[in-house]
Structure 1
Amino acid sequence: MATVNPPRGMRDFLPADKARRERVLSVIRERYRAHGFDEIETPVVEEYDRLHAGIGGDNEKLSFNIVRRGLDADAIRAGAEDPAALSDLGLRYDLTVPLARFYATNRGQLPTVFRSIQIGPVWRAERPQKGRYRQFVQCDIDIIGDDSARAEAELIVASLDTIDALGLTGGVVRVNDRRALDWMLDSFGFTEQERPGVLITIDKLDKIGADGIVAELRERGATAPAVEAFAAFLRRPQTLEYNAYGEKQIRKALPENAPDELVAHLVGLGEAVAAARPAAEGIDPIPLQFDPFLVRGMGYYTGTIMELAHPSVGYSLGGGGRYDGMIGRFLGQQVPAVGFSIGFERIVDLLESAEDATARSVVLVHDADVPVAELVAHKAALIAGGARVRLERRTKNFKGLLERAAADGYTAFAAVRAGDAAEALEVKPLS
């Protein structure tokens, strides 16, 4: 007999949960649109070859593939070792690959610099665990067609503004640049062929520390002098002096003689963000922090890398980066692009007590003998006044009825008896 539970890693949402999620989504959409982004929609299914074109990083390994229709037993046996022979479609594992395909398809109808919003579910064959699901919602903003730091600044400012609007003030964006990572590894002496593996190891710095990084690089068989040079850099003596985001912080975090052009790009990004977000007293003027070891794991990043942090939690609440090479795979010409994704599921969990303070919601608790015409008239009158209204027949467990209504997000109730005039209804708060 089939289980009544949803598939592992996927969830049902009760009305109050769904309402909370929709309230958060409405704030995100409103703030994104205020910053000049326009929402688009793409199919949840993309062609198998596109999802496995080498542009999705490790997520490609987690794709849910759709078996081709009409395969007979012989074809299935013949393709048992080759998923591409069995599948022609797959569920999207992120929103970036579909956006690249969307732009290539529709670029003639889009502005030269296109600012998009994409909000929707994605699917990954993850190992289900706390905070990690097989189906989850992503909230992406992307700018296509702008190769300047203005694009990154717009994304950062819009994202910080959005979490501020959700009540999560004090957010900071950690910043790095793929070009800085490549220059740094080259300066230590790692070969170009070694870089992907070295970056995978560096991405674990927060978890295993400097000693763990050095040990793993040695186990990988990375160039020995490069490993020793990197180890010396990680263990170099440093002052405890605090430096706000800017040239001093950036140069202090990198090996000596970092390229001036790269440093200037990162400094300019901070100046642009600061101009858009005047700092309150006692708060850093620039809500950015340079992190030379920020990798974010996605191999398609070509420039700036960003990650959203908040002091209330030890994990990131979003991130993104520049991926100038992706769209060119579809068009045969380079198109600059950069995106940022807010971690919707993590943010919703932080806002469990969030309530919709803008609308009144009322439960009309009526006696069994109240005529239907009177009930729907009372309900219609309250709805016309901007309220959300539910009808409930009075039960013996009156307290339990009100508790359930409160759990469903209702904030007030009124008792209704036969013959009551609309103006006679006494609406009382539930709490």
Structure 2
Amino acid sequence: MPTPVNPPRGMRDHLPADKRRREGVLSVIRGVYRSYGFDEIETPVVEESSRLHSGLGGDNEKQVFAVLRRGLDLDDLRSAESVLGLADLGLRFDLTVPLARFYASHRAELPTVFRSVQIAPVWRAERPQKGRYRQFVQCDIDVLGEAGPLAEIELIQATTAVLEALGLTGTTIRVNDRRILLAMLAHWSVPEALTDQALIVVDKLDKVGVDGVVAELVDLGVTTPGLDDALAQLADASWATGEGDDAPWLDRAAFADLVALRDALPGATLRFDPTLVRGMGYYTGTIFEIAHPDVPYSLGGGGRYDGMIGRFLGSEVPAAGFSLGFERLVDLVTLATDDDEGLALVYDKKVEPVELLALQRELLAGGERRVRLEKKAKNFTNQLDGLAAAGFTRFVTVRGGESAADLEVRTIG
């Protein structure tokens, strides 16, 4: 039997038609973000291992693809306590940690408030499943240096514009604030050491219900009287909460910021969701996530992460970002493919290569955007179907001795 030649699990090949479609969606995303004043940057696919394991990435740090140091020998392998001890680099698991390092490296060359776009692949060594891959593209915008709510407003406005430009309807942006979550846990007397675990449990409220969350919190040692009633109130919370409701777990200042965010974005469909957690440990304030009724997972998310850049720079810099999950998004988007009015030169085998290449150059110089050389096949109908699938809308037949002006252009289909 032949050896399997599939790509590694959780990674995919993209055929030409799929690649064109993906690039079309990316072109729309880039265009919208650029129109809102964001500048695109590029960072390396690898970062120092210590940076990727600095406690900023939550569970994603456990999924880093490690790059082993060069020159290791058998003694190094035997004496190492873990794989991480042998690695000096790792593939990036998101684009936010590299952005923080980038800003720390280039701050003197950047504006006081820097609005960045990064669109690139990231890698996570997790178990592949539907909608989740080991290599996938993220589309990030970030505002660095703006401490006020303008940063979040710009991020949500620009991202909402992207969704509209892609023709994606029915989306909702769920919003919350880490300060609300932390105040809630403090009210429930959750020990600080259990904060991360408790937040993971609360994040399951819409999946396992009040009873399920209470049971898991009790297993953690959280036995606050009236916890079930508090969770039920949490599940029913709305924008009205804080405007007459006496919920003792609510951080009023944080909620006021969310209300201000809503009022500044009347065209966006925002929903306050106090159970929204977001898994990254670096969030410090507002958090948000894109929900769509046709899929059970988010299409992107982000929030404020004021403490991250200071770890690299030595001085605090306010920061907020929004990341689109491109692989999930692209499956929901229907866009017309830009086929560039491609022209195929279908030639007989007797035509000399020098003549074909001269015709191709002449046609390109004359304004054609895409010209392909195609040797005429026995099944010409199937050949034309294949050209149409590849984005070619017209063809000419070359028998030899013609100039570009002599060629009769015909439509495919």
TM-score, normalising length: structure 1 = 0.87
- Within 5 Å, give how 1:25-424 maps onto structure 2: 25-79=26-80, 81-222=81-222, 224-225=223-224, 228-236=225-233, 247-248=239-240, 255-256=247-248, 258-274=250-266, 285-351=267-333, 354-357=335-338, 359-370=340-351, 372=353, 375-383=356-364, 384-418=366-400, 422-423=404-405
> What's the % identity of the aligned pairs?
56
Distance verdict in 2 for CA 1:412–1:45, change over 3 Å: same
CA distance in structure 1 between the aligned counterparts of 2:100 and 2:300, rounded to whole angstroms: 20
> Which residue is 1:279 aligned to?
none
RMSD over aligned CA atoms reads: 2.6
Deviates more, 1:355-364 or 1:416-425: 416-425
Render the CA deviation track for 1:367-411: whole Å, top value 9, x for unaligned: 334454554455345434243222212212112112222222333
Q: One-letter code of the match for 1:168?
A: L
Provide the TM-score with structure 2 as the length reference.
0.91
Distance 1:238 1:156, change over 3 A: closer
1:193-216 CA-partner distances (Å, limit 9, x unpaired): 332111011122232222211111
Q: Which amino acid aligns with 2:231?
A: L
One-letter identity of the residue aligned with 2:6: N
More moved, 420-429 vs 301-310: 420-429
Structure 1 CA distance for aligned equivalents of residues 135 and 49 of structure 2: 18
Q: Which stretches in structure 1 are left out of the alignment for 5+ residues?
A: 275-284
1:349 Cα deviation from its structure 2 partner? 2.0
- Name the amino acid aligned to 1:398: F
Q: Please give the secondary structure, in 1, of the residue aligned with 2:301.
A: strand
Give the letter for the 1:344 counterpart.
F
- The farther-off stretch of 140-149 and 200-209 is 200-209
Distance 1:218 1:416 in 2: 78
Task: Report how far residue 84 of structure 1 moved.
Answer: 3.3
C-alpha spacing 1:236/1:138, structure 2 compared with 1 (3 Å):
closer
Gaps of 5+ in 2: none
Residue pair 1:122, 1:138 contacting (<8 A) in 2 also? yes
Letter in 2 for 1:75: D
Distance 1:128 1:313, change over 3 A: closer
Deviates more, 1:127-136 or 1:43-52: 127-136
Q: Partner amino acid for 1:77?
A: R
Determine helix, strand or coil for the equivalent of 2:6: coil
